[in-house]
Amino acid sequence: MSSKVKNTTEKTPLRRLCAAAVVAVFPLLFTASVQAQDLNEQVTRRIEKMTERTLLFRNDSDRIPQLEYLRPDGTGVVWSAALGDKVVPVAWTASNGDDGKGALCLVFKGADIGMARDLRLCDGLDVVESGIRDARDGDPYDLTSVTRMKVALPQIVNDLAEIDQLLGRD
């Protein structure tokens, strides 16, 4: 997969930690204002719905969940079943994509995820939205203030109520 967004807006079978393109360098973070200048109105609205919220995302095979919290400033955190109990920082960028429907890229530092190289994952917003199983405003699990959760994220999670139960918050 190319690291360029324009080549990643097609529907891919898997995304995020499960559909990766590896890049050699960790790119500079884009500020929200810079991104907003480039994004069309539709994409801007779709992206806004993904920020400052905790999203439960699962890939198309429906096996590998991850929780994401994206800040408007282009940073965020991810708690993935691929990484057990680790919560890792991520940088994100958005673009209009070739089809004008938008694309989202997440970039992980290799050192944070046990890889020699950094990891850049991009998908069209249609794919991203179709993978969102549940969402809640804000950061109810304090993902932004920890580096490890008290438990590993299981491979099967269907909604955030299960996370509540897992963390003893129900």
Residue ranges binding another protein (CB under 8 A): 1, 14, 17-22, 63-64, 80-84, 110-111, 113-117, 119, 121, 152, 155
Q: Which is nearer to another protein, 51 or 80 (CB)?
A: 80
Q: In this complex, which beta carbon is closest to another protein, that of residue 118 or of residue 134? A: 118
How far apart are alpha carbons 142 and 136 in whole angstroms?
A: 12
Give how far Cα 104 sits from Cα of 28, 40, 160, Å: 15, 14, 22
- By beta-carbon proximity to another protein, the closer residue of 114 and 138 is 114
Angstrom distance (rounded) from CA 3 to CA 25 = 11
What is the smallest separation between the CB atom of 37 and another protein, expressed in angstroms? Answer: 30
Task: Supply the minimum distance, in Å, between the C-beta of residue 17 and another protein.
Answer: 4
Residue closer to another protein by CB (options 25, 34) is 25
Q: How far is the CB of 166 from another protein (least distance, A)?
A: 15
CB of 161 to another protein, least distance (A): 21
Q: Across-strand partners of 69?
A: 54, 77
> Strand order of the sheet with strand 132-137?
21-23, 118-124, 103-108, 87-95, 75-80, 65-70, 53-58, 132-137
Give the three-class secondary structure for 55: strand
Residue nearer to another protein on the CB measure, 20 or 160? 20
Q: Look up residue 148 and give its DSSP letter.
A: B
Candidates 28, 32, 9, 34; CA nearest to 19 is 9
Smallest separation, CB 9 to another protein (Å): 17
